[in-house]
């Protein structure tokens, strides 16, 4: 996760340096004077899980993988520096879990679970922007989101005894990030990096109250890094 963060930050700095070298012609001088504005975004993500335990001799290894994000932007300019944003969209990703609880049989079918997840996300965010400098301005952004997990299997009668790892359908996240607005001749381009963190416990416990897969786990929640490219 730390390597992904450093890589994405490096990309943002590279893009910033490229645009900083352009001729100083002010593009879209009235772009941020409109109260309501629209756009869309696309990007990549790398998601995993934060796991805490009630039993010390249990461990879940999470293999983090890359996925994609896509969605729309509806923004309201409170003033020149504050922007309220609604960013509904889809986020898709998959992870592989490997359980090391000694009471679980030592076979791949019992210890390994693939966890695909496609979320419909509705983030409500507040963006604080610096004053514009030529054709760019930096910003920080943060807020909360409601996330509907299409792949949760929460109502599935099968659980880990049948090879199914279940997660909750309705979830809440918070996110924080930073980015840069670049004003191009015909549109505004805004790369940003976000950290995404689950608020609630997403784990659906197995029906057996002594399940070696879910009893040792105290908390199980999504965390990830998003790189979004926004066009307005």
Total structural domains in the chain?
1
What does the angle CA 66 – CA 45 – CA 232 come to, to the nearest 5 degrees? 140
More confident of the two residues 122 and 107: 122
The closest alpha carbon to 229, from 81, 8, 4, 32, belongs to 8
Q: How confident is the model at residue 46 (pLDDT cuts 50, 70, 90)?
A: very high
What's the mean pLDDT in 118-127?
Answer: 97
Q: How confident is the model at residue 31 (pLDDT cuts 50, 70, 90)?
A: confident
DSSP state of 207: S
Average pLDDT, the chain: 89
Q: How confident is the model at residue 74 (pLDDT cuts 50, 70, 90)?
A: very high
The answer on pLDDT for 62 being more than 60 is yes
pLDDT computed for residue 55 by the predictor = 80
What's the mean pLDDT in 74-103?
Answer: 93
pTM above 0.85, yes or no: no
Domain span at residue 49? 2-231
Return the CATH number at 58.
2.40.160.20
pLDDT computed for residue 68 by the predictor = 94
Q: Per-residue pLDDT tens for 168-213?
A: 999 999 999 999 999 999 999 999 999 999 999 999 999 999 999 9
pLDDT computed for residue 54 by the predictor = 87
The rounded distance, in Å, linking the Cα atoms of 206 and 141 is 37
Q: Per-residue pLDDT tens for 102-117?
A: 888 888 889 999 998 8
What's the mean pLDDT in 128-147?
Answer: 95
DSSP string, 67-108: EEEEEEEEEEESSSSEEEEE--EEEEEEEEEEE--TTS-SSH
pLDDT computed for residue 14 by the predictor = 54
Tokens of 231: 């066009």
The closest alpha carbon to 187, from 7, 44, 27, 52, belongs to 27
- Which percentage of the chain shows pLDDT scores above 90? 72
Residue position matching structure tokens 């840069």: 180
């Amino acid at each position: 996760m730390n390597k992904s963060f450093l890589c994405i930050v490096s990309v943002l700095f590279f893009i910033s340096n490229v645009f900083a070298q352009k001729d100083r012609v002010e593009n879209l001088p009235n772009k941020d004077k409109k109260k309501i504005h629209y756009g869309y975004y696309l990007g990549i993500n790398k998601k995993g899980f934060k796991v805490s335990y009630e039993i010390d001799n249990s461990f879940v290894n999470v293999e983090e993988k890359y996925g994609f994000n896509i969605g729309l932007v509806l923004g309201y300019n409170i003033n020149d520096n504050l922007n309220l944003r609604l960013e509904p969209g889809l986020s898709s990703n998959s992870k592989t879990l490997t359980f090391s609880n000694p009471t679980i049989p030592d076979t791949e079918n019992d210890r390994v679970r693939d966890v695909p997840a496609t979320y419909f996300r509705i983030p409500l965010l507040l963006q604080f922007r610096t004053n514009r400098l030529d054709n760019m301005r930096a910003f920080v952004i943060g807020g909360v989101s409601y996330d509907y997990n299409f792949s949760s299997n929460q109502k599935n009668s099968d659980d880990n005894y049948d090879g199914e790892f279940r997660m909750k359908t309705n979830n809440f996240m918070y996110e924080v990030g930073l980015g840069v607005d670049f004003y191009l001749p015909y549109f505004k381009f805004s790369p940003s990096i976000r950290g995404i963190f689950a608020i609630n416990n997403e784990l659906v416990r197995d029906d057996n109250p002594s399940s070696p897969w879910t009893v040792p786990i105290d908390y199980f929640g999504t965390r990830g890094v998003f790189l979004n490219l926004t066009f307005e």
